[in-house]
Amino acid sequence: MHISDGVLSNPVCIGGYIATVGVAAVCIKQKMRSQDLPKIAVITSVFFVASLINVPLGPTSVHLILPGLVGVTLGAMAFPSVMLGLILQALLFQHGGLTTIGVNTLMMGIPALIAGLIFHQVRGSNSRKLIIATGAICGALGTLLAGIILAVLLVTAGENFLGVAKVALAAHVPVIIIEAVVTASSVAFLLKVKPDLIGVKLKNDRLDSIVSLSS
C-alpha cells in the first residue's frame, strides 16, 4: 500500500509531510508516556515486518497494514508508531519512498487513529464477545479506510492512475478480511494473557465467585 516516489505531485507530498508532522506532534505531546515505550517498540516492529512483505501493484503494493491492530493496542500513539515504521522501511529497504513518507503515514496512520478511537469505546465493557467483535471491526475498517485514502491519492496523480486506484482498492478486499481475523484473534489472545495491553480490565467472574464463597 506504500506509494512510491515520483507518483504524487510536490504540493501533495509537501502537504502530506506538514500534516503528518502536525498530527504526530499532537499525539506525542498529549499521549506519550515513558512506560508505554516498550509496547510502542514492539507494535512498531510488528507493523514494520508485516507491511514489509508485499505484492507490487504498479506504483503501489498490496500487503498487511495492521492499522486496526496498531490502533487497538496503541491508541493515539498509533500514528507516531506508523510514521516511525515507514521511515525505517524507506531508509533501510527503500520500501515506499522518501518524498511520500508523509502521505503514506497519513494513509495508514489516520485509519489507525480511528480504529483506536472506536476500540476505546468498548474498553470499559465486561463482554469478551463485544470487545473481540469490535477488534474485528477495527481491523477491517482500518484497512478499508487506508485503501480508500490510497485510491484518492492515486487519483490526484492524474487520470493515468485511475485504473490503478480501482485495482488497488479491489485488491485489498481479501486483505480487509484477513486483517479483521488477525485483529480479532490478537484481541482475543491479549484478553486471556495481558488485557491491560489493550487497556481492558475484565472482571474475573470465576475468581470473584471463589472469593465470595470463601468469605
pLDDT tens for 169-188 read: 888 888 999 999 999 999 99
Phi-psi region of 96 (alpha: psi -120 to 50; beta: other; left: phi over 0): left
Q: Identify the three-state secondary structure at position 55.
A: strand
- Give the pLDDT confidence score for residue 198 in this predicted structure: 93
**% of the chain beyond a pLDDT of 90:** 60
Q: What's the rounded mean pLDDT across residues 126-149?
A: 95
CB half-sphere exposure, 71, CA atoms < 13 A:
33
Across the chain, the runs of DSSP E, i.e. the strands, are 54-57, 60-63
Q: Spell out the domains of the chain, with CATH numbers in brackets.
A: 10-214 (1.10.1760.20)
Instruction: Name the grid cell of 174.
Output: 481479501
- Give the pLDDT confidence score for residue 54 in this predicted structure: 74
Give dist(CA 60, CA 166) in Å, integer: 12
Residue 148 has pLDDT above 60, yes or no: yes
Phi-psi region of 178 (alpha: psi -120 to 50; beta: other; left: phi over 0): alpha
* Residue 67 C-alpha from the chain's centroid: 1
Give dist(CA 66, CA 50) in Å, integer: 8
Residue 121 has pLDDT above 80, yes or no: yes
Residue 44 has pLDDT above 80, yes or no: yes
- Give the pLDDT confidence score for residue 59 in this predicted structure: 58
Contact of 126 with 42, CB cutoff 8 Å: no
**% of the chain beyond a pLDDT of 70:** 91
Give dist(CA 77, CA 204) in Å, integer: 29
- Give the pLDDT confidence score for residue 30 in this predicted structure: 86
Backbone angles phi, psi at 125, to 5 degrees: -75, 150
Give dist(CA 188, CA 25) in Å, integer: 32
The residue among 102 and 196 whose pLDDT is bigger is: 102
- Give the pLDDT confidence score for residue 60 in this predicted structure: 59
Strand partners, 60: 57
Q: CB under 8 Å to 41, separation ≥6 — which residues?
A: none
Give dist(CA 135, CA 184) in Å, integer: 5
Residue 147 has pLDDT above 80, yes or no: yes
User: Which pLDDT tens digit goes with each residue over 84-115?
Assistant: 999 999 999 888 889 999 999 999 999 999 99
H or E stretch covering 60: strand 60-63
Residue 57 has pLDDT above 70, yes or no: no
- Give the pLDDT confidence score for residue 205 in this predicted structure: 43
Q: Which of 83, 74, 85, 20 is nearest to 51 (CA)?
A: 85
- Give the pLDDT confidence score for residue 58 in this predicted structure: 61
Residue 214 has pLDDT above 70, yes or no: no
